[in-house]
Structure 1
Amino acid sequence: MTEADSSRNDVWRPHVTVACVVADGHRYLMVEEEVNGRIAYNQPAGHLDDFESLQQAAVRETREETGWTVELTHLIGVHQWRSEEHGDVVVRFSFAARPLTHDPQQPLDTGICRPLWLTRGEIAELGPRLRSPMVLMSIDDWLAGQRLPLSVVANLMPGGGRS
């Protein structure tokens, strides 16, 4: 290994994740999941894969965790948090999306118990059972009108365009 390879491996890297706030009236699409032997609640969310845009990851994760196909409408915000689960920093891109179609036969990701629709009040009542404080924060940001155009997130990788 060269010195350049060694220094590249020593660079700190946060977990890059995406999440979708999918609203249907006063209800929000959530997932009930098993995390380290406990039940937790989250928006459809997950890690960015290599060669994937942030927008593609958000749509994919929502479909894989809920069976819902969604259309992204806005970027709500970018949140940074140190996970109590694994101790690493998470940088989360939270998108707003609208539900299009649901496939109840879609196999759900490992660990996902079920998708469910909850009101903001019901989500707040989950308290420590929320996967992270970013869950309620992104809903509250959306409710406060925080919406950025999707064009603020550019994908400059080959074939990525500005999607």
Structure 2
Amino acid sequence: MTEQITDQEPGISAAIIVRDNRVLMVRRRVKEGDLMWQFPAGAIEVGETAAQAAVRETLEETGLTVEAVKLLGERVHPKTQRLMSYTACTALAGQAHVADEEELAEVAWVAHGEIPEYVPYGLFGPVQDYLDGTLGQPERAQP
């Protein structure tokens, strides 16, 4: 009999944050398998929704205050076998930095065309679709 890891561990909630035509990514100090760069994310705590966890984890890890906008989708992550929720968020206040030095090594605002350099194995379809629609737009010229 095999048990799924997702039955034993809490789900993980990731925040997809776009600001100035870039998406926020973080590099963990300890790799999770092939994962080096990912979105701010962490375990969903008891009594917390995926959206609440995405907001809390973003603040704890990067110092950035965000607001959850909408759930983009959920899946069992093919690399970690953890149940993942992905929430689009809007930045409200602060500047992203390594706020949790035990967990993070680096943060980066990544342009649409740079995403494959950070995540060479591709993104979850609904997240990629959201970023294609959000980041795929040319920047508007300032008058």
Q: TM-score normalised by the shorter chain: which range applies?
A: 0.7 to 0.9
Q: How much has 1:137 moved relative to structure 2?
A: 3.9
Alpha carbons 1:75, 1:94 under 8 Å: kept:
yes
Alignment-derived partner of residue 107 in structure 1: 99
Once residues 50 and 82 of structure 1 are traced to their aligned partners in structure 2, the CA distance between those partners, rounded to angstroms, is 24
Corresponding residue SS for 2:46 = coil
Alignment counterpart, residue 40 of structure 1, candidates 36, 39, 43: 36
Alignment-derived partner of residue 30 in structure 1: 25
User: How well do the aligned residues superpose, as a CA RMSD in angstroms?
Assistant: 2.9
Once residues 64 and 55 of structure 1 are traced to their aligned partners in structure 2, the CA distance between those partners, rounded to angstroms, is 14
Which has the higher mean CA deviation after the structures are superposed, 72-81 or 96-105?
96-105
Alignment-derived partner of residue 59 in structure 2: 63
Q: 1:52 to 1:144 in 2, by over 3 A?
A: same
Report the TM-score, using the length of structure 1 for normalisation: 0.65
Corresponding residue SS for 1:82 = coil
Report the TM-score, using the length of structure 2 for normalisation: 0.73
Q: How much has 1:126 moved relative to structure 2?
A: 2.5
Q: How does 1:6-155 map to 2 (within 5 A)?
A: 12=4, 14=6, 15=9, 16-36=11-31, 40-83=36-79, 89-102=81-94, 107-108=99-100, 110-128=102-120, 133-134=122-123, 137-143=125-131
Alignment-derived partner of residue 160 in structure 1: none
Alpha carbons 2:98, 2:106 under 8 Å: kept:
no
Q: What is the letter of the counterpart of residue 96 of structure 1?
A: A
Gaps of 5+ in 2: 134-143
Size of the aligned set, in residue pairs, is 128
Q: What is the letter of the counterpart of residue 22 of structure 1?
A: I
Q: Which digits, 9 at most, give the CA deviation of each residue in 1:83-130, with x for residues without a partner?
A: 35xxxx2221101011011167883152201222111221212244xx
Once residues 77 and 104 of structure 1 are traced to their aligned partners in structure 2, the CA distance between those partners, rounded to angstroms, is 24
Alpha carbons 1:65, 1:115 under 8 Å: kept:
no
Q: 1:98 to 1:50 in 2, by over 3 A?
A: same
Alpha carbons 1:76, 1:141 under 8 Å: kept:
no
Once residues 125 and 132 of structure 2 are traced to their aligned partners in structure 1, the CA distance between those partners, rounded to angstroms, is 10
Once residues 106 and 35 of structure 1 are traced to their aligned partners in structure 2, the CA distance between those partners, rounded to angstroms, is 14
Q: Which has the larger radius of gyration?
A: 1
Alpha carbons 1:66, 1:114 under 8 Å: kept:
no
